[in-house]
Amino acid sequence: MIPAGPVPAEQVDLDVPVRDGRIRVRIYRPHGSGPFPLYLFIHGGGWCTGTVEERDGRCRAIAAGARCVVASVDYRLAPENAFPTPVEDCYSALEWLVDHADRLDLDAARVAVGGESAGGNLAAALCLMSRDRGGPSIVYQWLDVPALDLTLSQPSFRDVPDGYLLDSAAIEEFLDCYLADRTMATDPYASPLLAPDLSGLPPAWIMSAEFDKLRDDGRAYAAALEAAGVPATYRMLSGHVHLTFAFTRLLPSAADYERAAIAALARGFER
């Protein structure tokens, strides 16, 4: 259901320093000569499961299709490493990569971030964090089926019934793992949709699935970004549930979506 993806010119794991430790960052380098733009990819899994291996195929496809270096972050997982450790790990990885751009043959002026589900949450939070701290400049964000309001206040959490892969009990369990205290859900780095100021963020590509309890998180965030003067492209995959966009060998609509999103990323690097 999920293809292995084209073979990159180089695929290597780096050991990157973060606060209080080190993490793995997997690099996918396209064929040809650089310097290449950088796409920092953040996997999903409810902040408490998942590894870089699970999305090898997609990262390879992105590297080839968008002609960029993809850096997939193996951030530390909850509950042992609860909020804000995962997003801090991603920020540290981004800083390290940009600081070593010459060594890695990267174009530090063309940096994008993105992720899926919980990874989309972390990518959106990373954009806020980098803006607030005067960190690396990010030119584009790509968020697939993101969780952006951890107070679970969006209508789709109630309106989409259980039984479509991601149900309310699973979401509650993930949040209990990620947030040591559920009152932390109002922190903008936990719930980017609740940030009081979204101005100055990078242009966004956001996708939701029709039958996903997180559907309206993405829809509302796209609208909020536009209201703050940030260009946002919103796509909803009709007939899809939370993660079926990944089934590109099985579902033509998923394959079409991935091609469109990768093409949009390539354009995003040229803004």
With contact defined as beta carbons under 8 Å apart, do 47 and 118 qualify? yes
The DSSP bridge partners found for residue 22 are 17
The single residue listed with the structure tokens 């953040």 is 42
- Residues with Cβ within 8 Å of residue 44, at least 6 apart in sequence: 50, 115, 116, 117, 118, 119, 120, 145, 243
| Active site members | 117, 212, 242
Element spanning 208, H or E: strand 204-211
Pairing of strands 69-74, 106-116: unpaired
- Residues with Cβ within 8 Å of residue 154, at least 6 apart in sequence: 193, 214, 215, 216, 217, 220
The 3-state DSSP class for residue 17 equals: strand
37: buried, middle or exposed (CB in 10 Å: 19+, 13-18, 0-12)?
Answer: buried
Give the angle subtended at the CA of 206 by the CAs of 217 and 199, to the nearest 5°: 80
